[in-house]
Amino acid sequence: MNKLLSPGNLITIGGASLSLIGLTAYFTDATNLSVPTFFYGVPIFLIGISLKTTEVPPALRVVSANKFAKEREKGPEELGKLIKDVTRWRYGQSCQLEASLRVLKLWDIDNPPQLIEIEELVKDGNYGLRMRFEMAGVPLERWNDKKERLGRFFAKGLCAELFCPTPGEIDLTLLPPKQEENQKENE
């Protein structure tokens, strides 16, 4: 998603343009144009700036939206909602999934984990997700302590796998349990 086309940027540019048109019209004695554009432009510009200060960009979507469309329909509905939620602009939060990370106690108020990217995947015929976080102020031990709960939290019946691809980053993979594990649980 293009960061220049965020709602905050568009509103800021629109307000600045109206304000500039209003000021230009004022100084060129075009009073019919100066009053409405300036008095509407300045508040719109200020609203845009305030949105920019609280803007959280969407997570990078690694795989195109239509690649796993059929598998997404068969998978848990919650995962589809999760993808829609984290691939849009957010305002007034510190990071994507802020409320979820707080509930899971994977939160550091000064340096919260940041969701960098999300990837849909199919492993052994099962649809799931991989989310890459910048761990920030939350240590790896705390992520490992919450591993079992992470699987259940985002959708019923999922298993969580944690992997550190690089220092300071963690991959959270959510997939249904393997068939062998299901058979062992049923016995």
Separation of alpha carbons 122 and 129, rounded Å: 8
Q: How many domains does the chain have?
A: 2
Please tell me whether residues 47 and 85 are part of one structural domain: no
The most distant pair of C-alpha atoms in the chain lies apart, rounded to whole Å, by 86
Q: What is the pLDDT of residue 77?
A: 87
Mean pLDDT estimate for the chain: 86
Q: What contacts 2, CB < 8 A, 6 or more positions away?
A: none
Query: CATH no. for residue 111?
Result: 3.30.980
- The tokens describing 103, both together, are 């509930």
| pLDDT tops 80 at residue 51 | yes
pLDDT tens readout for residues 85-143: 999 898 988 888 888 999 999 998 889 999 999 999 988 888 899 999 998 888 999 99
Residue range(s) defining the domain that contains residue 80: 56-186
Q: What is the pLDDT of residue 179?
A: 60
pLDDT class of 37 with cuts at 50, 70, 90 = confident
The candidate with the shortest Cα–Cα distance to 76, out of 144, 177, 172, 186, is 177
Q: What is the pLDDT of residue 178?
A: 73
Please tell me whether residues 72 and 31 are part of one structural domain: no
Q: What is the pLDDT of residue 187?
A: 46
